[in-house]
Amino acid sequence: MTVPGLRERKKQRTRDALIRVALELFTDQGYERTTVDEIADAVDVSQRTFFRYFSSKEEVAFAVQHMVEERFVHALGQRPPDEAPLDAMRNAVLSAWDTIGEAIAEVVPVELHLRAYRMIESTPALLAVHLRRSTEMEETISRIIAAREGLDVDEDPRPRIAVAAFSGVMRVTGQMWGRGTDGSLEAIRALTEEYLDHLGPALVPHWRDRPGEGPGAAA
């Protein structure tokens, strides 16, 4: 593995500082009220330097989330080819969460990442971007799953259907984590595992207890 040189490490520190300061300003005073100049000034760099790293405020707002998504896509690509599609996605996201905590913490505190997630969910302009990004990510994953299964994603609907179900669970998990009191990465990993375990049972034809099988059934 190549060790980054001094110049590369300095650039990475500047990028990380811009992300951290931007998220702090966004969550403290609001995304719309924060300017690029404020972010750059807080890191003691020029506006021009900011735009060397990020094309816009929007890009820096989603920088950590983008890193998380990249980790998942990479993990999915490493899953054994004989795993079923939903198993591959489940195992990929759980293995990604096993390592992503350290990567996030190198850039921003986990608590700030949680606050930024809540900020995105409550900011209309960012929520629209978040939904668009989610749709694009679903298409990327669908094509990966289709390739794993040797299918044409535009001819066979199953990859997109499976990914839509999986993504729905992930959205609910993220929302419940954001609303909860435990903002740790261990908490979101546990929620992810629990909610994915409910995916299969949620798709059975009937949820109500069958006659004679409910809690109050006679012995």
Q: Per the structure block, which two tokens stand in for 210?
A: 């069958």
pLDDT tens readout for residues 41-54: 999 999 999 999 99
- Taking only the tens place, the pLDDT of each residue in 148-185 is 999 999 999 999 999 999 999 998 988 888 888 887 88
Judged against a pLDDT cut of 80, whether residue 216 lies above it is answered with no
Instruction: Judge residue 188's burial from the number of C-beta atoms within 10 Å of its C-beta, 0-12 exposed, 13-18 middle, 19 or more buried.
Output: buried
1-56 maps to which CATH number?
A: 1.10.10.60
pTM of the model: 0.83
Class of domain 62-202: mainly alpha
| For the chain, domain boundaries | 1-56, 62-202
For 136, the token pair is 């694009």
